[in-house]
A and B are shown apart, each in its own frame.
Chain A
């Protein structure tokens, strides 16, 4: 039968060995973190972005590296997923992007602060997180062209800006957000001129629309309109 001193020895030995192992692993981890996290790419701007991230308690709603609260989206790969234009627009005027959805705080960031946050999120997205976040295994397989196969020749390649901005709210072929209507077959319903004036200034076409005016260049606008027109 176990005696009290035996129990005490078990406690002290177990704790001692595990603590030692933990400290050694910590030292090893710290040797490896710089390479795994691209520490050489932590610029002044990234540092400032991290400060802003903490100063405003972004983790109180969002997660980064899967850590934080579960009220707002995971941001680890937001730079890679949504791109810079979307992040900038979101930080400038959060309500405009998702008008009827969960509200984000309006922070009135300066241009410089937005640059820093973008740099921080870009750096975060490039850290090797051992495969997190995983691609959803049950998601519909992404195909480059959209629509039935026999129409594939008429379909233009998906512009990058479309992937970053439009899919935040709209779905196409089952992928994307659910804020705005699905865009499948939009080319059958609307002509090029309408699409152009709509995307350029949605409020001018329909005053009470919740669609934001997107910061697109003329070339990007043209690209998106052509792409949408080809969705038949």
Chain B
């Protein structure tokens, strides 16, 4: 570790581990409910579990991005974070807002708009908190006068993510307009600016782990984020097919979302090629595995499975079915969850000085969680396709179809158990690293 203020990242990473564990618990509640075992109905009804599950995901990924930024930016800028104490306040505020929102969901306090369930008063606090974060990161880069492509892409990704939160707060009386703006937030986040953040974090990791020249890596970073925006911005159209907007979105959305896999394929090839190019025998092979893994799994989950059901002709029948859940799970896992786990796997040995990166437990965590998530995706996929055929194509009643797919959720819960075992192993390893230590600061030149 080069800079003392990089330790702030630890707070965010530990928060990730905690929120991620909680997210899994709520996932199980829903999995069992789908199996017909809705035993918690009176205490945690499905819609509360659902809001909690998805918002915990968003929160822990954001916490991960923030942690990654606090880790990467000092190094790229070659200076300490400005106002490190304020950064701790920013972390605490994020946790307080998050915890309040999650508890509120259980008392019918929310704004029932998919993915944006956080109630309005808390929205303002989120904005303030994120602005503070942007100020700290931006200020650090500004003061250093050393602008690397990686840190600039990261900064603009984070800034745009903050700005794009605002359209979701525009009041409207029309459900169609409501959905329209909601996708500005959700789609332009996950298929737009979050990919900037992803590209930047990946670049940083590849520079560190492979030893390939920064110029080469950063050049390809531009190409890939270029493709991301070329396809992703107008690709938002695939959410506008059937919500009451003009028909031309079918063509525009269909065309551009068909291009979206290109960006993810680029991301995957980028990771693989750079990892092969790097002749350096790096000591943290598991962090490289997570980095390359995020490229590959995001291509399969976000790129390929996304493509598979965003063609308008297909989407007519898959829109609003379990097929979406199939795509969603592997996409978020591959593109963002694995990426956060990669940066944590890279940062922990450097931060604590404990070289536990090549432990068997870590390898076990990597493979078990990936196999578990792949199996979950398959279970969702079979349930989803069955639902589409029986309900949307053959016209069977919704609830009758849900009875038919209950058995697939047994498979899903089994796969989720495997996944959870992998994640427990990862967290176990995280805990074993212990707290960051100032003694490792000596590496500084």
Contact = CB atoms under 8 A, between A and B. Distances in A.
A187 interface: no
B223 A7 contact: yes
A138 B393 contact: yes
Given A37-B174, A42-B173, A4 B319 contact: no
B364 interface: no
Interface in B175-192: 175-180
B397 A176 contact: yes
B215 A4 contact: yes
A204 B179 CA distance: 47
Contacts of A33: 174, 176-177, 180, 244-245
Contact of A22 (B234, B322, B396): B234
Nearest to A70: B322
A152 interface: no
A131 B249 CA distance: 13
Interface stretch (B90-98, B104-112, B292-300): B104-112
A49 to B, nearest CB: 10
Interface string B376-409: 0000000000010001111111111011000000
Chain A contact residues (Cβ within 8 angstroms of B): what range?
35 or more
A132 B222 CA distance: 38
Nearest to A71: B46
Given A42-B173, A65-B176, A71 B50 contact: yes
Given A42-B174, A57-B110, A67 B179 contact: yes
Contacts of A71: 30, 33-34, 46-47, 50
Interface in A31-51: 32-33, 36-37, 39, 42, 46-47, 50
Given A29-B180, A130-B242, A137-B393, A22 B108 contact: no
Given A4-B218, A11-B226, A129 B112 contact: no
A14 B229 contact: yes
B180 to A, nearest CB: 7
B317 A134 contact: yes
A69 B174 contact: no
Contact of A58 (B41, B112, B252): B112
B243 interface: yes
A66 interface: yes
Interface string B158-183: 00000000000000011111111000
Given A65-B175, A67-B179, A32 B246 contact: yes
Contact of A73 (B220, B246, B399): B399
A15 B400 contact: no
A179 B399 contact: yes
A161 B320 CA distance: 28
A134 B316 contact: yes
A84 to B, nearest CB: 19
Nearest to A36: B244
A230 interface: no
B246 A36 contact: yes
B408 to A, nearest CB: 13
B112 A53 contact: yes
Given A33-B176, A178-B399, A178-B403, A11 B225 contact: yes
Interface string B332-345: 00000000000000
Interface of B (DSSP majority class): helix
Contacts, number: 206
Given A131-B316, A133-B392, A176-B397, A67 B114 contact: yes
A67 B222 contact: no
A28 interface: yes
Interface in A129-158: 129-140
Contacts of A139: 393-395
Contacts of A11: 222-223, 225-226, 229
B397 to A, nearest CB: 4
Interface stretch (A95-103, A190-198, A221-229): A95-103
Interface in B387-443: 387, 391-400, 402-403
B219 interface: yes
A105 interface: yes
Contact of B320 (A47, A66, A138): A66
B244 A65 contact: yes
B395 A2 contact: no
A85 interface: no
Nearest to A1: B219
Interface in B215-241: 215, 218-220, 222-223, 225-227, 229-230, 233-234, 236, 240-241
Nearest to A101: B399
Contacts of A22: 233-234, 236
A132 B319 contact: yes
A74 interface: yes
A10 B226 contact: yes
B48 interface: yes
Name the 6 nearest CB pairs between A and B, nearest first. A60-B47, A139-B395, A57-B112, A66-B320, A136-B395, A132-B242
Given A14-B229, A132-B242, A178-B396, 4 more contacts: A11-B222, A32-B246, A65-B242, A70-B321
14 contacts: A11-B229, A21-B233, A22-B233, A22-B236, A29-B245, A33-B244, A36-B244, A57-B117, A65-B244, A66-B242, A67-B114, A71-B33, A132-B242, A178-B396
Interface of A: 2-4, 7-8, 10-11, 14-15, 18-19, 21-22, 25-26, 28-30, 32-33, 36-37, 39, 42, 46-47, 50, 53-61, 63-74, 98, 101-103, 105, 124, 127-140, 175-179
